[in-house]
Amino acid sequence: MTLAAQSPVVINGQVTDTAGVPISEATIKAGKRGTVSDLSGRFRLQVSSLQSEISVSHVGYVTLNLKLNGQDSIQCMMTSSSDNDLSDVVVIGMQQQSIRNTVSAVSGIVGKDINNRPVTSVDQLLQGKIAGMNVQVSSGEPGVAPTVVVRGNSTVRTDIGDDPNVQQAQAMSGPLYVIDGIPIDPADISNNAGATGTNFLAGLNINDIESVVVQKDAAATAAWGSRGANGVIYITTRKATSKTPVFGVNAYYGRNSKPQLIPTLTGSAERTAKIDILKEYATDDQLKSLPQLLTDSLNPSFNNATDWQKMFYTSSNVYNVDATMSQAAENVNYRISLGYYNTEGIIRNTGYQRYSVRGNFNFKISPKLNSQLVVGLVKEARQAGRKYQNSDDNTPFSGSSQPTSFYYINEFDQNSYLGESTKLRNLNGNDNYTASMTLNYDIAKGIRYTLQGGANSYVQSKDYFMPSNIDAVAAETGSDATQQSYAESSRGTYATYLFTNSLNLDKDFKTAKGNKHQFNLTLSQQYNTIISSGNSVSGYNTPTNDIQTVTGIPQSDLSGYSYYNKDALLSLVSQLQYNYNGKYLLYGSYRGDASSRFGKNNKWGYFPAAGAAWIVSDENFMKGAKGVIDFLKFRFSWGIAGKNASDFYAPYNQYQISGTYNGTTAIQPSYTNGLTKSDLTWAKSEQKDLGFDLYLFKNRVQINTDFYDKLDKNQFFTFNLPFYTGFESININASDLWVDNRGVDITINTHNLAPSSELQWNSQLVLTFQKNRIAKLPNNNRTFVIDDYASGVSRIYAVGQPIYEMYQMDYQGVYNHQDEIPYNPLTGNVITYFKGYYPVQVGYPKWRDANGDGDVWTGEDNGDQYGDRVPTGDPNPKFFGGFTNDFTYKNFTLTIASVFTFKRTVVNTFWQQQMDAMGGNLKNFAKNRLPDLSEVNYWTPAKAEDPNYKASFPSISPYNAYFYQFFPFSDMFNVDGSYFKIKQVVLNYLLPQKFTERLKVNHINAYAMMYNVLILKNKKNTMPDPEAVDQLGIYTGGLYPQAKTFTVGLNIEF
């Protein structure tokens, strides 16, 4: 041992978190000596020798024990002790509460866990992170929102078959977002007629986010009253933490790779497979008259191997650059950020760009008065690129429309097809302006008055042009008219204004017996108004394809409209916390909302909530358990939150200009919405929550669990009216329409290795078990069925069944042999399909005769309104979550994050459409693409000669009678939609202090990342990505696929 190793020496070091951000005021000890880290996380400490052991501790982080092992310069990387640290403060309504003392069910993530991820919006990064919140990223299109549902869907719609956009955008219960105190409902933005379809959260730079807290139970959401029923997501942006000026630059570059394509046969493999299939079914005479497309393999027009999918996908780039300046001085705290983000799409002519500026300022004006100012400006541009504006299909071909690979594609043809992407002008612009000002005045000790005023404005523009050579009229109207160019220009503004007055009284005292009492009362008044306005003009026949705006179009080909909507919400809120001896907690809130969206008889809605908690671990009888049970709290809450009407003028009768009277234009009540609804009011959600928080083994194991029951009543519902009323329908509150969501939320955080280990391994497991069911229906619980013509899959609404359950005929396999076909006892003949038209034969699908009448079909049959359809599948997942592991060794940190969804039924209509295209038509069989059938055990006559043969799929003979056997009105194409994804793999390296000191910078962090790494799914599920289904569980193959992305980046602070 050297003399230096034995003698007292001074060591240098730096304390950072796993993302490389310096941690100030951390405590570093070696024996009896100690010090704290400075604003840059650096410290100097005298130790007895270079073989000493030091400990590093800080509130909110796991204590770190490190051996010097002869080093005199050491890097100390600390990991967060919990995503819900007991000292953290969250905002519930207008009131701040600590995690330790709240009775509410809240979960969250901090900014360092999501920074630098190559996605456009923060909601995608919440997937698998929050128990009880289901995030499904069904589309990989840049700038498009995922589906976010907190504690189950409760939206019941009857019009899902009328408009595909309805089932995409409005069939789910989306949460309320609050950004730095300003509430924003995405449904209001999407209902704006000028909406571009760009996710409003895409305008918030991920690297500007300090924390995201999800409020789930009614004790938290009732404080938001008429908008809190679907959960509340509270986002706080970053503020300065260093007392000295800090400048930061962060940049990354990445590549988006082509997606996994759907397996298909091409060239000689396709020709061989098709001829082999025909040989299995055709007679000798039929084989002599095959289409030339199949037989003329030497013809250059028919002997190609074109894979149509590859034509439209490409690899692309993603860029991001951020620059920040911040300081937390005594009287001024400021953080200013500039950002640029650009991701090119993996489908040609698509992509998203964002320029952002944001400033957070805190001013201490006097000892009693301080203020906060938040300003932001964002400019976004998104190129959608699709031919059909209101379609999910992102390429010219989808489903059965993809042709055979035999066709020859010359350069002209290829440019023509690619032109449907590259020649389109489909620009969507968003300008977002944010400003809020908060004044806090301390009237006296424990009494604070707060005044907040804020505004958030979204200016949206949509410019669309389709040249005449891409069949514009057919694309927009579905007609076969002469090709014409089409241009459209829309402008819309959505602006929300908020004014809040709050008075907070915080009082604590101790009685003569030493008991401590603490009261926190907040009284608030809030006024919120939304103004939505805009206009749109469109037309056919621009003078040339070079004029790509609505210019020079004949008046007869022009159309346009304008709109203006305004609403107002006045709220009164009271919130009271009571804390007795730091371990007995009570909470209550009461909110009243008056809304312009409701009828004159129900302007006000009232939303109460109450909760209690008991911190058992602070009881005297638990003292002996310390070190094993460090913290244990039981929580219970109850409350009622509400849902606002989506229509700004929902209670009022509407008029329309229609026809003439005495030569004058007539104004008459709207046939579809012409009735006054004076009693229209809020839909209400009543929720009970029982939970516990348990920290074990010196906080190394942390378990947060909630059992909840959420019952939504008084739902908005569309009732059809008799024709003799003169009106089509009426939208009212259905007092007897109830939806119940029950479940269990579990979050487990573990620190798997001893604090003294050089290698640290932390895990987080997020689990949600959920059951969705209809509890009550109108007309004495009368079951009703909705036919979704867009997908071909019907839905049943029945008490005890989940929302949007699939209602189809029950596919039970194949009739392999004649003796398996049952007979109709009434006629003595074999059973039939399609109301007696098709006697069942071998090779036919085996559909269950549910009503026992000897005929199987979907329509009314022998008085049975719904034929032989039965409930077949639930698109709502019953089990989902995430699993994240962080590994830290010296200056390296590796994060592996995965997500999963189980027990969900989806319908593969892409596969269904391909099979349907081959049935009953030899011409279609020849000219359409052929999927890979190598793993499909379809029925053939030759195989059926074996008496033990069991096919799993019916005959695919193009010579069979066509009776819609491959339509999705049976569950033949229903599959298990479960999946497990490795979503992110992130490697961080923090440059050692000795190098950063030489470079005179605070820290340098290099990182590399893979995104959308791996998918594991059921072998029978042929979809490349089981997550790429719409909200109702339909896989069309047309949704924009998610790219695999690899990025490298550098973060420097000085």
Dist CA 1046 CA 1013 (whole Å): 9
Task: Using the structure block, give the residue that is written with the tokens 């002469």.
Answer: 482
Dist CA 683 CA 874 (whole Å): 24
The whole-number pLDDT of residue 692 equals: 95
The whole-number pLDDT of residue 477 equals: 43
- Backbone φ and ψ for 232, nearest 5 degrees, come out as -130, 130
Within its chain, how far is the Cα of 926 from the centroid?
Answer: 40
The whole-number pLDDT of residue 194 equals: 60
User: Comparing C-alpha atoms, which of 918, 950, 919 is closest to residue 937?
Assistant: 950
Q: Which of the residue ranges 488-497, 508-517, 853-862 would you say has the lowest mean pLDDT?
A: 853-862
Euclidean distance between the first and the last CA atom of the chain, given in angstroms as a whole number: 39
**Six-digit token string for 510:** 């101790």
207-240 pLDDT tens trace: 999 889 999 998 888 888 888 889 999 999 988 8
Question: Angle at the Cα of 640 (from 634 to 642), degrees rounded to 5?
Answer: 135
Dist CA 108 CA 112 (whole Å): 12
Q: List the 974-976 sheet strands across, edge first.
A: 974-976, 905-908, 1034-1035
E-strand ranges in 445-515 read: 447-466, 486-510
Dist CA 93 CA 366 (whole Å): 27
Cβ pair 922, 795 in contact under 8 A: no
Cβ pair 1033, 1021 in contact under 8 A: no
**SS3 label, residue 1023:** coil
Kindly tell me if the per-residue pLDDT of 418 is higher than 70.
Answer: no
The whole-number pLDDT of residue 356 equals: 96
For 213-239, letters b (16+ CB in 10 Å) and e give: bbbbbbbbbbbbbbbbbbbbbbbbbbb
Average pLDDT score over residue span 550-562: 89
Dist CA 723 CA 238 (whole Å): 58
978 vs 401, more confident: 978
Dist CA 748 CA 695 (whole Å): 10
E-strand ranges in 266-414 read: 316-328, 332-344, 351-364, 369-383
Q: Which residues pair with 726 in a beta bridge?
A: none
525-552 pLDDT tens trace: 999 999 999 999 999 888 888 888 898 8
Cβ pair 896, 980 in contact under 8 A: no
The whole-number pLDDT of residue 774 equals: 94
Which residue type sits at 903? K
Q: Which residues pair with 428 in a beta bridge?
A: 382, 462
The whole-number pLDDT of residue 80 equals: 66
Kindly tell me if the per-residue pLDDT of 960 is higher than 80.
Answer: yes
- Can you spell out the DSSP letters for 496-565? EEEEEEEEEEEEEEE-TT--EEEEEEEEEEEEEEEEEEEEEEEEE--SSTT--SS-S--GGGEEEEEEEE
Cβ pair 890, 758 in contact under 8 A: yes
pLDDT band, residue 649 (cuts 50/70/90): confident
Average pLDDT score over residue span 558-580: 92
The whole-number pLDDT of residue 81 equals: 57
* Bridge-based pairing state of the strands 869-873 and 805-809: antiparallel
Dist CA 410 CA 564 (whole Å): 50
**SS3 label, residue 1022:** coil
- Range ranked top by mean pLDDT from 95-99, 198-202, 281-285, 319-323: 319-323
The whole-number pLDDT of residue 674 equals: 58
Within its chain, how far is the Cα of 1037 from the centroid?
Answer: 19
Cβ pair 622, 616 in contact under 8 A: yes
Question: 327: which residues sit within 8 A by CB, 6+ positions away?
Answer: 240, 242, 243, 244, 245, 246, 333, 334
The whole-number pLDDT of residue 19 equals: 62
Q: Which of the residue ranges 40-44, 157-161, 199-203, 569-573 would you say has the lowest mean pLDDT?
A: 157-161
pLDDT band, residue 1002 (cuts 50/70/90): confident
Using alpha carbons, list the distances in angstroms from residue 1011 to 476, 677, 993, 1008.
36, 50, 30, 10
Average pLDDT score over residue span 793-811: 93
pLDDT band, residue 373 (cuts 50/70/90): very high
Cβ pair 590, 605 in contact under 8 A: no
The whole-number pLDDT of residue 480 equals: 47
Q: Which of the residue ranges 18-32, 163-177, 868-882, 914-928 would you say has the lowest mean pLDDT?
A: 163-177
The whole-number pLDDT of residue 392 equals: 53
Cβ pair 439, 451 in contact under 8 A: yes
Cβ pair 848, 809 in contact under 8 A: yes
**Six-digit token string for 600:** 């004159």
Cβ pair 742, 710 in contact under 8 A: yes
pLDDT band, residue 329 (cuts 50/70/90): confident
Q: Which of the residue ranges 139-143, 188-192, 533-537 would you say has the lowest mean pLDDT?
A: 188-192
pLDDT band, residue 816 (cuts 50/70/90): very high
Within its chain, how far is the Cα of 72 from the centroid?
Answer: 48
Cβ pair 18, 47 in contact under 8 A: no
Cβ pair 458, 493 in contact under 8 A: yes
User: Comparing C-alpha atoms, which of 719, 818, 1034, 806 is closest to residue 907?
Assistant: 1034
Q: Which ranges in 928-1012 belong to alpha helices (H)?
A: 941-944, 993-999
Burial class (CB in 10 A: 0-12, 13-18, 19+), 561: exposed
pLDDT band, residue 318 (cuts 50/70/90): very high
626-642 pLDDT tens trace: 889 989 999 999 999 98
Q: Which of the residue ranges 245-254, 664-673, 818-827, 983-992 would you say has the lowest mean pLDDT?
A: 664-673
Dist CA 28 CA 13 (whole Å): 10
The whole-number pLDDT of residue 166 equals: 45
The whole-number pLDDT of residue 473 equals: 42
The whole-number pLDDT of residue 83 equals: 47
User: Comparing C-alpha atoms, which of 676, 685, 672 is closest to residue 650?
Assistant: 676
- Looking at every residue in the chain, the average pLDDT score rounds to 85
The whole-number pLDDT of residue 970 equals: 93
10 Å Cβ neighbour count for 567?
20
95 vs 375, more confident: 375
Dist CA 762 CA 764 (whole Å): 7
1004-1049 pLDDT tens trace: 899 999 999 999 998 888 888 999 998 889 998 878 889 999 999 9
The whole-number pLDDT of residue 861 equals: 52
Burial class (CB in 10 A: 0-12, 13-18, 19+), 761: middle
pLDDT band, residue 29 (cuts 50/70/90): confident
DSSP 8-state assignment for residue 591: E
pLDDT band, residue 964 (cuts 50/70/90): confident
The whole-number pLDDT of residue 65 equals: 80
pLDDT band, residue 479 (cuts 50/70/90): very low
1039 vs 734, more confident: 1039
pLDDT band, residue 72 (cuts 50/70/90): confident
Q: Which ranges in 265-327 belong to alpha helices (H)?
A: 267-281, 284-287, 292-295, 308-312
**SS3 label, residue 113:** helix
Kindly tell me if the per-residue pLDDT of 656 is higher than 80.
Answer: no
Average pLDDT score over residue span 104-128: 86
Average pLDDT score over residue span 66-74: 83
pLDDT band, residue 365 (cuts 50/70/90): very high
10 Å Cβ neighbour count for 113?
23
Q: Which of the residue ranges 448-457, 913-922, 990-999 would you say has the lowest mean pLDDT?
A: 913-922
pLDDT band, residue 810 (cuts 50/70/90): very high
The whole-number pLDDT of residue 401 equals: 65
Question: 881: which residues sit within 8 A by CB, 6+ positions away?
Answer: 128, 131, 765, 766, 767, 768, 899, 900
DSSP 8-state assignment for residue 61: B
37 vs 1012, more confident: 1012
Any long-range contacts for 792-798 (C-beta under 8 Å, 24+ apart)? 792/909, 792/912, 792/967, 792/968, 792/969, 793/907, 793/909, 793/968, 793/969, 793/1032, 793/1034, 794/858, 794/869, 794/969, 795/160, 795/1032, 796/869, 796/871, 797/156, 798/774, 798/871
Question: Angle at the Cα of 784 (from 779 to 786), degrees rounded to 5?
Answer: 140
- In angstroms and rounded to an integer, the radius of gyration of the C-alpha atoms of the chain is 32
All domains of the chain, ordered by start, with CATH? 3-78 (2.60.40.1120), 89-250+316-788 (2.40.170.20), 809-873 (no CATH)
